[in-house]
A and B are shown apart, each in its own frame.
Chain A
Amino acid sequence: MADYLPTRLRGVDMTELPPERGGGPTVRRMLVGAHLRRLRTDRGLTREQAAAAIRASGWKIHRLENGQVGFKERDVVDLLALYGVGDPREVAAFLVLAREANAPGWWHHFGDLLPPWFRAYVDLESAASLIRTYEGQFVPGLLQTEGYVRAVVGGALGVAEAERRVALRLGRQGVLGRAGAPRLWAVVDEAALRRPVGGRAVMRGQLARLVEACGWPGVTLQVLPLAVGAHPAMVGAFSVLRFADQALPDVVYVEHLTNAAYLDRREEVEQYLDVMEQLCAGAEPPDKTVEFLDKLLSEL
């Protein structure tokens, strides 16, 4: 999953969809807002303290962080200063995003890695109330063991970069443990569970972790058996993030080899949701998952 996102905004291949009427939250606003929230909470500041810096109310900060209102450049600059973001390049890049955040329908193709300050998916993920995900090739990122992550990340990358990615991926998993954590509802293809990523020992550890995760209160795991044959999501993995706030749209996240896409247009999101419903209804029910994993373990 996306531990990395765009760094460079110039030269990206970006398809603008016609703005929908009425504005409202867009993925870009939500991403910028979610990142502002993270910066603020990392500093241990309340909404009211942040509000004072931009001569506004705590409610305004709440709405900004939810992506419900547009961003004023001056407000963003003042907030970043308050949050200790001083690097001019970082501020400039953030401003580009904030400025572009007012047009709905985001479909970016990014060829770059995520700069450390913009862990967009991670921010969105931690702001979600429900994460629904389908994985055809991997164990879902939030449930991977360290050994599994290493096996996935390793290879082409340099040691330092690989370590950074492993740390990021494992850090992401903290989201499941905290209070008010999002619920994870994952459908995993049997193929992903049979592929011995990292070898037999690593995979055994990974399957054991999944058995354990089935007992965690906020986790639902369903297996899509190979026996179902062709299915509606063979084209690949995707996630649907849902937010508690009624005004926030669901966001679909799709990752490809060299880029990632965020979809927030209702018509598109609903096509993905429709497929997710079919997968969940066609997969083994959650209370059969442990049995399924035990069987795989006994065969491994």
Chain B
Amino acid sequence: MSSQGVAGDWATRVNTSVPNPARIYDFLLGGKDNYPADREVAEQLLALAPVARAVVHDNRAFLRRAVRFLTQEAGIRQFIDLGSGLPTQGNVHEVAQAVAPDARVVYVDNDAMVVTHSRALLAGDNTLAVEADLRAPDLIVGNLEVRELVDFDQPIALLLVAILHFIPDEDDPLGIVRRFRDALPSGSYLALSHGTRDVPVRPDMSAEAMAEMGAKVERLYQQTTAWIVTRTRGQVERFFDGFDLVDPGLVEIQRWRPDDRHTMLPGGFYGGIGRKR
């Protein structure tokens, strides 16, 4: 197709030859927007942790249950989905608008391909896709388009689902969440899930083996455009400073208000929802 000379710097915005977490996640969910470099890492991940595919499905299921809870029980009508990833089945606005057709959703991601897909496939009257990095909270809460769709005087649900484990401590993830929190009115919510190596993902697995698996996964992701850092329960809980966790608190995502009894073995990710005081 394109020769180097013609393509010029076109490939710099969307580079399919470097493994990308959003596309690895897409592959694990059974999507078709992934490339050999992504699949190579995903296959290595599955070899290390065969449960990974189940865990990402569990994470999507957690997101659906969280959005349904926020819309139905907490009465939330505004969502900001940070690190939203490639569009898939059961996107946030679809779940929310099934309950409340007037629900508004902002999808934020720093990946050009993700935002391009989101603008094309998700954006509409009550949805918006924004290219921004969650490490710059002020640029997101101050974004004029965001402000046009979202009323910061009304409760907002902030979704940080399977994204903060891509933010290393030196980028001050606690400070980032705090700045978002301070921009939200009281009665707003934070829904969050986060990779952990606390909980063995197999019954026959020791804590040491799980910790070792976690370390290997972290190393594997060092080939990708975003490194992973797993955190302990105590570390994840601190993201909820200033929020009151709703039942059942911060738990393995599979245990968070499961809608059937046949859930997978819990583990891999912590999840919880908190209400801002």
Which A residues lie at the B interface, using CB under 8 A?
A: 183, 185, 217, 220, 222, 230-235, 242, 246, 250, 270-275, 277-278, 280-282, 285-287
Contacts and interface: CB of A to CB of B under 8 A. Distances in A.
A273 B33 CA distance: 9
Between B6, B32, B112, the greatest number of chain A beta carbons within 10 A of the residue's beta carbon is seen for B32
A278 B10 contact: yes
B47 interface: no
B120 interface: yes
Contact of B11 (A183, A220, A273, A278): A278
Interface in B105-127: 112-113, 116-117, 119-121, 123-124
A270 B16 contact: yes
Contacts of B205: none
B119 A286 contact: yes
16 contacts: A183-B121, A217-B124, A230-B6, A231-B10, A232-B1, A232-B10, A232-B11, A234-B6, A235-B2, A272-B1, A274-B35, A275-B2, A277-B113, A278-B13, A280-B116, A287-B119
Contacts of A275: 1-2
A230 B9 CA distance: 10
Interface string B77-107: 0000000000000000000000000000000
A286 B122 CA distance: 11
Which size class do B's interface residues fall under? 20 to 34
Contacts of B13: 278, 281-282
B248 interface: no
A32 to B, nearest CB: 22
Contacts of B6: 230-232, 234
Closest 10 CB pairs of A and B: A232-B2, A220-B120, A277-B14, A278-B10, A280-B116, A281-B116, A274-B16, A281-B13, A281-B14, A232-B7
Given A277-B14, A277-B16, A278-B10, A235 B32 contact: no
Contacts of B121: 183, 185, 220
Contacts of B242: none
A232 B4 CA distance: 9
B12 to A, nearest CB: 9
B14 A278 contact: yes
Nearest to A221: B120
A183 B8 CA distance: 30
A282 B8 CA distance: 12
B123 A287 contact: yes
Interface string B236-272: 0000000000000000000000000000000000000
B1 A235 contact: yes
Given A280-B116, A287-B119, 18 more contacts: A183-B121, A185-B121, A230-B8, A231-B6, A232-B2, A232-B7, A232-B11, A270-B35, A270-B36, A272-B1, A273-B16, A278-B10, A278-B11, A280-B117, A281-B14, A282-B10, A285-B119, A286-B120
A266 to B, nearest CB: 9
A272 B32 CA distance: 13
Contacts of A271: 1
Contacts of A235: 1-2
Between A230, A235, A250, A278, the greatest number of chain B beta carbons within 10 A of the residue's beta carbon is seen for A278
Contacts of B14: 274, 277-278, 281
A235 B3 CA distance: 10
Between B7, B10, B124, the greatest number of chain A beta carbons within 10 A of the residue's beta carbon is seen for B10
A234 B8 CA distance: 13
Interface string B18-38: 000000000000101101100
Nearest to A243: B32
Nearest to B129: A285
Contacts of A242: 32
A13 B51 CA distance: 48
A270 B27 CA distance: 14
A277 B14 CA distance: 7
Contacts of B116: 277, 280-281, 285
